A and B are shown apart, each in its own frame.
Chain A
Amino acid sequence: MGNSTLSIGFFFAFMALTLAITYWAARRTRTTEHFFAAGGQVTPWQNGWALAGDFLSAAALLGIAGIVTSNGFDGMIYSIGWLVGWPIILFLIVEPLRNVGRFTFADVVAYRLRQRPVRLAGAVGTLAVILFYLIAQMVATGSLIKLLFGLPYTWSVVVVGSVMLVYVLFGGMLATTWVQVVKAALLMGGGILLAFLVLTHFDMNPLKLFAAASEKYGTKVLQPGSKVVSGQWDAISLGLGLMFGTAAMPHVLMRAYTVKDAKAARLSILYATGLIGVFHLMVFIIGFGAMVLVGADAVAKAGGGGNMAAPLLALTVGGNAFFGFICAVAFATMLAVVAGLTLSGVATLCHDVWTNVIRNGTASEAEQLKVARVATVMISIFAIFLGIAFEGQNVAFMAGLAFSIACAANFPSLVLAITWRRFTTPAAVASILVGTLSSLVLIYLSPTIQVDILGKPLAAIEHQWWFVSLRNPAIISMPLSFAVAILLSLVTQEKNADLAFDEMQRRILLGPVQPNASKQGEVKSAA
């Protein structure tokens, strides 16, 4: 398969650069503020790129391009769904998050409620999201690296897990941020160049590309089909999960804390939305390019469930060097995404569970850092272990499950905590747990697990009373979570939560109280 020495060369260049960044960042990471939030010193522009880097997984380049190559337009349903959550983050979530919280989204939910139960429930929701997303990424990573570089699966998983461990353990958020920025720049550069090279074959006119595709494969490739998303309500449910799940992904939300203030957080979401939008438009061109120039059959034959569309296209339009470059970019992409996920899992374990639940908010800086590092090692080992354990399994549903849980468990409690005075502790806890559990149960009873994983024939289970025909649970689990939260809030009373509401609103507006009312913009020197 092409020239793997070149891709390995590119990949080592990326590793050398990012490890140098980690070394530089390690010397600047001395407090939890540095470890989890890069000391709040990241600029909006850098953070916008880092958000794009955190969010654009290998699925965005390889996966969607592959779906477009084999199914045409339908791949774009995912592109759009992964983008429309960003405006929701901007309008409803990012400024309150930045002004009220410190490291995690549970900071905001627990702000006026009882700390321990809310943070524990928040940790369950967050860790479930991270766990499923991490497994999906690790398994995809292992099999893709096997395909791209010929490295054995187990080794691929171990390499990715260890390098991610090094980034997070030593460099914390500062290193992770820069790894994301470098990766996002490579991904955007590679994607734009690939799309550009495709268009040079079609007089720079995308319409000619689409016309060529429909001439070759029929107009159905330009029309919505029902292979990628089957079922009418399933499509709506998928849309809900993608939109509101994106708006509550812990590793995305955590980036609100890396910048100076709410205004900077707002700007970074705008930049990220632009970058991710442009990237998805490129991927659409790349997918159609692979369909016409490489051929859907050739892509399918290359294996990996269509994931080879973009690399093979690079080989066709740019030769061996470009193939190597795109493979290395894909590797870098996976590495960066798992690093971001791991860091947000560590923040939850250390800041929410250890510091605020076990130690009741009294842990010293040194102790918190130690716990954070132990948690980093634990999560990394766990990720490597699970990555190996799930080899060859169909885990595609796990990424969707992660978004569904984020949407049903995290989003309702976050929005209600910010906007509703009556919201209470039992409501928050129940909403998060019901959102998590109902997503898990619904997906277990759906064809995703029953037919695709367990291999039962659809006809045999279709008429069982417990059967759920929806593959995407969000349309049930998210309203359920909201309903539980609203009902329990109405039947319970919490005086402190009510009393603290005005103070929280003031803080959402003005940010944390600055000591001596110091002028805004003055950042305490942290070097």
Chain B
Amino acid sequence: MNVVIPGKPDPAPSVSALAKKLARKRLIVALVLSAAMIVIYFGFMGLFAFDKPLLGTILVPGLSLCIVLGPLVIISSFALCLVYVVWANRVFDAGIRNLR
């Protein structure tokens, strides 16, 4: 824990405090994105396991709900990865450079 002494100005917070803050931020981003992936995937698998008729709804000839949602799960996996990498390259890496 970082001890803050009242009255004394603290112009440069210690490196370890900054590092902890950055690590925490990364963990939150990583957990939120992982949770999103898990919800998307097990939402889909839940439908597959427990509500096949719904997933099998034919929308137009040649297209059923599962053929829309399946590729969407694949695309959203990539999209979530992209979100993380853009965030990490812009925000996280900049934070790391500040620490060094």
Contact = CB atoms under 8 A, between A and B. Distances in A.
A88 B33 CA distance: 9
Contact of B41 (A76, A84, A214, A273): A84
Interface string A48-76: 00000000000000000000000001001
A224 B66 contact: yes
Interface in A445-475: none
Given A87-B33, A207-B62, A222-B64, A280 B74 contact: yes
B4 interface: no
Chain B interface size band reads 35 or more
B99 interface: yes
Interface residues of A, number: 53
Interface stretch (A100-108, A262-270, A485-493): A262-270
Contacts of A510: 19, 96, 99-100
B19 A80 contact: no
Contacts of B67: 73, 210, 222
Identify whether the interface residues of B are mostly helix, strand, loop, or mixed: helix
A505 B21 CA distance: 12
B52 A223 contact: yes
A69 B13 CA distance: 62
Closest 4 CB pairs of A and B: A211-B62, A223-B56, A235-B49, A210-B62
A232 B63 contact: no
Interface string B65-99: 01100110111011011101100110001001001
Interface of B: 16, 19-20, 22-23, 26-27, 29-31, 33-34, 37-38, 40-42, 44-46, 48-50, 52, 55-56, 58, 60-64, 66-67, 70-71, 73-75, 77-78, 80-82, 84-85, 88-89, 93, 96, 99-100
A91 B85 contact: no
12 contacts: A73-B64, A80-B74, A87-B37, A88-B37, A91-B30, A209-B62, A212-B62, A226-B52, A263-B93, A266-B85, A510-B99, A520-B100
B80 to A, nearest CB: 5
B9 to A, nearest CB: 26
B61 A214 contact: yes
A79 B85 CA distance: 23
